[in-house]
Structure 1
Amino acid sequence: MRRAVIVSTARTPIGKAFRGSLNCTKSPTLMGHAIRHAVRRASAEGSEVDDVVVGTVLGAGTAGGNLARFAALAAGLPETVSGQTLDRQCSSGLMAIATAAKQIMVDGMQIVVAGGQENISALQERYMAWTADEQDPAVVASAAHAYMPMLQTAEFVSEKYGLSRIAQDEYALESQLRTAAAQRAGVFDDEIVPIRTTMKVVDNATQTISFKEVELARDEGNRPDTTLDNLQKLQPVLEGGRVTAGNASQLSDGASACVLMDSQLAERRGLDILGTYLGMAVAGCAPEEMGIGPVYAIPKLLAHHGLRVQDVGLWELNEAFACQALYCRDRLGIDPLSYNVHGGGISVGHPYGMTGARLVGHALLEGRRRKVRYVVVSMTSGGGRAIEDAVVLAECLAAPGKAAQALEAYSSRRIPRVKRVWEASFQISRWEREDPVGNAQRTAALLLDCYKFLGEPI
């Protein structure tokens, strides 16, 4: 079967909803920014894109119509490029990437752009009110809690599974500290493309509205000075509850995109492959337990691929609420050191449709830095759904810097077996993917020859 690989990722910084830098940016512009830069990073021409797949949750107003098509046009892609918009609630961005991969693997497409966005500032209040007013009795008759607000589902999970307020606050603190450390180290810099835009400013005293030009270059949500004492002082959102503004995800605006490509095309072009899409799994759960869907979907995903939890080197599970992130991690037996290593929705922000796409890009880049093979990205979705998506990293050399030098030496010495630098790297990549065990001897021999030319001791 054809393979789909991810060759680039790009995203906007994440802005605080309502009072952040992106509070006046239209959705096509927001998503278009991520698409344009993802395509550039893939060294692709806009006319080569077969389709654009965009996930969003609040699909009305500025995000209405076929947002994917509008965003493609805003990105400067030609009119010949089509687009499709999908809604799987908070799993939308993740589902967009899975859909794009299937289009390559099954339908024969060569290049597909996929991602997600959310414009909470523009749409949240009106959209949610309208949805609440339009509940269908037929749905309620089948599932009494189908329309339960997310805050109530979080409190239900907290109570049912005994997740204390202190445990949730401790998790939230760790999330904030991890994100703060990541920002200081520039971990997100390879993902983010700064954006110039117009921000709406409301004077608190007079309620006068003005506008100013801004450039946003980093995520706005992190609170690096957070302490456990400060978190403990916050009042619960629902009286008598355990969920607070400090241990729940932040309302945010943003967009993220990836470029997926047929693996053979990517190899012919000599592109730096970030990862290979392996597959996805979904599982439903009781709507009132919305946040725990991953404990059902992840085992399905792993079983299908013959993997165990300990085989996965990096996990990204959206932090909708600390309670569900804690429960899923511990129920599945995931090592905290490989789980949401740079924080998540609590500390970075959660633009609903964007998050799944952002996490895929981040997991691939961070997985490469950590030299892990498998990464899993998981989302929980409103309405009691969960979706998982796994990708395998395309790292085949433990020391890529030295390998690159060796391959360059191969080329400069005109070794007959390797006429061009990329031919050797692609050969090794193919061997690793086809049969890493059976081809290990051939791979080692080729690398050995490379290292000999560098004068490296073996």
Structure 2
Amino acid sequence: MREAVIVSTARTPIGKAFRGAFNETQAQALGGHAIHHAVNRAGVELHEVEDVIYGTASQQGSSGFNTARQCALRAGLPVSVGGQSVDRQCASGMVAIATAARQIIVDGIDIAVGGGGESISLVRNEHRNTYRSQDPWLSKHYPALYMSMIETAEIVAERYGVSREAQDAYALNSQVRTAAAKELGRFDDEIVPMASTIKTVNKDTGEASYREILLEQDEGNRPETTLEGLKALKPVFKNGQQIKRGACITAGNASQLSDGASASVLMEAKAASRRGLSPLGIYRGLAVAGCSPDEMGIGPVFAVPKLLKQHQLKVDDIGLWELNEAFAVQVLYCRDQLGIPDELLNVNGGSISIGHPFGMSGARMVGHALIEGKRRGVKYVVCTMCAGGGMGAAALFEVA
């Protein structure tokens, strides 16, 4: 039976949206950088890649034209290599890796790239509407489908009794874990530094200036964070009819808007063995599930049991968990409902402290979980996340 193995992973550092190092860098350049270096690390020739599957929550380019194809060409892959874009919102990058794996297992190709990325800076700006147009029928029958993600997080907090205090404490722990991990070099094996031009606007004059920069590490971590500082932050959401008590989602206990990209090279296991490659891990499966759009953050509660049942595993069989930190509230609820040990969850922090380029995060989490899982000597890792519209996705990998 054919198996798909991950033989390399590479990503950009993560830049802060709008004011960070990549605020003038195209999504295609970010994706191209990650893909090019992942292929180089795998030791395969550019023309040997048979397909590129790339996840993004916002297609970028002329008429939203297939970001995957554009990133493949930007990476230097020949025109003979195809590209397929995937949109499952925040699960896009991980689903792209799973899709690439299926191409290998089912369709018989030997080498594929799976990854994802996002340029929030160049999509959510004054030149482009943040939200897609709404279908009238869906607006009437499923109005929560078009809720802001912050409002869905507020609903989860209220509906399931997750306190502001617990959210802030979790957010602080994420910052602390990431700071410690950076000091120990836990992200070094996945990041490839990237040069860019950063745009700065003078607040007084409105004049823009540009300077060259080399980003070597993620920009999002705030090691100086304190619990007192988090408590002092005001909620972002202004109460609506659905929120009966005070709002609790702040800039401190929610993921950061960010820019970045990540990619992994997948290969058929026997083909990798013939080349003498040592894989990071083996793709074992993906499960997705839907939930009510107004509480989209709890999607993993439905996707994870489905995944574990498919593979006859239990929570205790998993040595490491990555659960995307869209909001502290949904991580806490999912962790407690699923019974995930805190010491095995997001051990080096997550999107609250690292950053969250929507299409990138799932791909980044897979690469990081495999590297960290190998360092710890665990057998299985699970990556899971909620996704806009009311969904959860979870993927199982065996560490090689």
Aligned to 2:373: 367
User: Does 2:206 match 1:207?
Assistant: yes
Measured after TM superposition, the shift of residue 28 of structure 1 is 1.2
Question: 1:96 touches 1:115 (CA, 8 Å); kept in 2?
Answer: yes
Aligned to 2:345: 339
Question: 1:61 touches 1:123 (CA, 8 Å); kept in 2?
Answer: no
Aligned to 2:243: none
C-alpha distance in 1 between matches for 2:269 and 2:322: 24
C-alpha distance in 1 between matches for 2:40 and 2:60: 29
User: Does 2:292 match 1:286?
Assistant: yes
Distance 1:62 1:313, change over 3 A: farther
Question: 1:28 touches 1:63 (CA, 8 Å); kept in 2?
Answer: no
Question: 1:58 touches 1:127 (CA, 8 Å); kept in 2?
Answer: no
Aligned to 2:223: 224
AA partner of residue 73 (structure 2): L
Question: 1:73 touches 1:79 (CA, 8 Å); kept in 2?
Answer: yes
Question: 1:27 touches 1:62 (CA, 8 Å); kept in 2?
Answer: no
Larger gyration radius, structure 1 or structure 2: 1
Structure 1 residues 101-137: Cα deviation after superposition (integer angstroms, max 9, x where no partner): 00000000000011000000000245873635x2112
C-alpha distance in 1 between matches for 2:325 and 2:39: 29
Question: 2:168 touches 2:230 (CA, 8 Å); kept in 1?
Answer: yes
Gaps of 5+ in 2: 239-245
Aligned residue pairs total 393
Measured after TM superposition, the shift of residue 62 of structure 1 is 7.1
Aligned to 1:274: 280
C-alpha distance in 2 between matches for 1:273 and 1:302: 23
Aligned to 2:175: 176
C-alpha distance in 2 between matches for 1:284 and 1:222: 31
Q: How does 1:284-363 map to 2 (within 5 A)?
A: 284-363=290-369
Q: How does 1:437-448 map to 2 (within 5 A)?
A: none
SS in 1 for 2:191: coil
C-alpha distance in 2 between matches for 1:231 and 1:343: 16
Measured after TM superposition, the shift of residue 146 of structure 1 is 1.1
Question: 1:175 touches 1:343 (CA, 8 Å); kept in 2?
Answer: yes
Distance 1:128 1:164, change over 3 A: farther
Aligned to 2:85: 85
User: Does 2:67 match 1:36?
Assistant: no
Question: 2:23 touches 2:122 (CA, 8 Å); kept in 1?
Answer: yes
Percentage of identical aligned residues: 59
Question: 1:57 touches 1:118 (CA, 8 Å); kept in 2?
Answer: yes
C-alpha distance in 2 between matches for 1:358 and 1:50: 22
SS in 2 for 1:298: helix
Measured after TM superposition, the shift of residue 144 of structure 1 is 2.7
C-alpha distance in 2 between matches for 1:105 and 1:208: 53
SS in 2 for 1:94: helix
Measured after TM superposition, the shift of residue 233 of structure 1 is 0.4
Aligned to 2:14: 14
SS in 2 for 1:106: helix
Aligned to 1:447: none
C-alpha distance in 1 between matches for 2:145 and 2:120: 22
